[in-house]
Amino acid sequence: MAKLGDICDVRDGTHDSPTYVNTGYPLVTSKNIVDGKLDLSVVNFISLEDYNKINERSKVDVGDIIMPMIGTIGNPYLVDVSTEFAIKNVALIKFNKREANNRYIYYFLQSENFRKYITKNNRGGTQKFLSLKDIRNIEIDIASYDEQLEIVETLDGIFALINLRKKQLSKLDELVKSRFIEMFGDPVENPLNWEIGLLKNITSKIGSGATPRGGKESYQSEGVTLIRSMNVHDGRFEYKDLAHITDKQAKQLENVIVEKNDVFINITGASVARSCIVPEYILPARVNQHVAIIRCISSIINPVFANNMFLNTSFKGRLLDIGESGGATRQAITKQQLEMLDVIIPPIELQNEFATFVEQTEKVKLEVKESLEKLVILKKSLMQEYFG
């Protein structure tokens, strides 16, 4: 075992508040390190004089690791760009000794062992922080340098495959969106002059439910599924924190029984306008007051077409505008506003053709997701093996 400060040069950036200028050198803080990447889209600038002053002791070079000491602690970034910037309240780890490989340390700083160390040693109230001393005192089971290189090569390969699978999933989603536009055009501008109808005239049900008496405290570990806005995401159903209610509670929500092929759309709060199709295997189910059921008349509108229309960028913007139109602090779409939505109605044969394309794409996505899940499990196993 070795302390990080003994095998690496660990410093920090400025703790002062330099004068900000309109243009100059970026001053990177914890908010600029997001998901292991450097985000300079929103950043304060400092003068050359302040930049040089800070970098007298904390100059950041390619190959260094920087890591927030305040707020989002434990979110390391391995510097891979030669952008000149200074750091504030951010730890700087430099590698001027042959004892530690930078990518090996970078992976260690993403390990469960390091997260546990952060949880045990962070201080402060709502704004957590980790001192430079604590960072230097982190103990790591350091392998020989050649072993580190072998471990890095293995993990690089796993992480590369994980990123590839994520990109594949993203491209498949984009493929469906572009196919929709190719077949139907913009659903708001309607350049192909499709028939227009009100949503209430092509659906057999539009409605939301309620929260059972007792709220969260009344939820069960099993029983009838209760769909909440946190479960409805754009184009996918999220199973995390899925709630269940008793048969008695479900009977009180008989007006919002969920059926196969129903489309869910969130109608209140920050997630307003998110939509997906019900997964059949969660039935029987009900919805609460934050989620609306859209039940399509299948001879007129295909639910897969309807859901992808809701997900279309233009149509989504329209729904969000409706959600904010009330002027209230909380976004909301009413049942009447949903009913009075005018939507395009292409021939059902064309809609069904699109739905078949989506179904085939979903099968490919499922294969990619399964591969991704296996890779994530393998990554966790290897990280545990290498770093404890």
HEC letters along 244-274: EECHHHHHCCHHHECCCCCEEEECECCCCCC
Amino acid sitting at position 124:
G
Strands 86-87, 25-28: pairing is parallel
> Which residue from 262, 269, 266 is spatially nearest to 284, judged by alpha carbons?
262
3-state secondary structure of 10: strand
What is the homologous superfamily of the domain 145-190+346-388 according to CATH? Bipartite methylase S protein (1.10.287.1120)
CATH fit for domain 195-345, picks 3.20.20.70, 3.90.79.10, 1.10.3720.10, 3.90.220.20: 3.90.220.20
Range of lowest pLDDT (88-102, 190-204, 215-229, 319-333):
319-333
Mean pLDDT confidence for 32-61: 89
Mean pLDDT confidence for 197-202: 97
Same CATH fold, 145-190+346-388 and 2-142?
Answer: no
Percent over 70 (pLDDT), the chain: 98
Residue 226 has pLDDT above 90, yes or no: yes
Query: HSE-up of 111 (CA within 13 Å, CB side)?
Result: 23
Mean pLDDT confidence for 29-56: 89
- At residue 19, the pLDDT reads 87
CA distances (Å), origin 46, targets 34, 66, 68: 21, 19, 19
Q: How many CB atoms lie within 10 A of CB 364?
A: 13
For residue 74, name the pLDDT band (cuts at 50, 70, 90). Answer: confident
Q: Which two tokens stand for residue 346?
A: 């292409």
Cβ contacts of 154-157, under 8 Å, gap ≥ 24: 154/382, 155/103, 155/107, 155/379, 155/382, 155/383, 155/386, 156/103
Measured in residues, the chain has a length of: 388
* Domain definitions of the chain by residue range: 2-142, 145-190+346-388, 195-345
Query: What average pLDDT does the chain have?
Result: 91
For residue 207, name the pLDDT band (cuts at 50, 70, 90). Answer: very high
CATH architecture of 2-142: Alpha-Beta Complex (3.90)
Whether 43 and 26 have beta carbons less than 8 Å apart is answered as yes
> 66: buried, middle or exposed (CB in 10 Å: 19+, 13-18, 0-12)?
buried
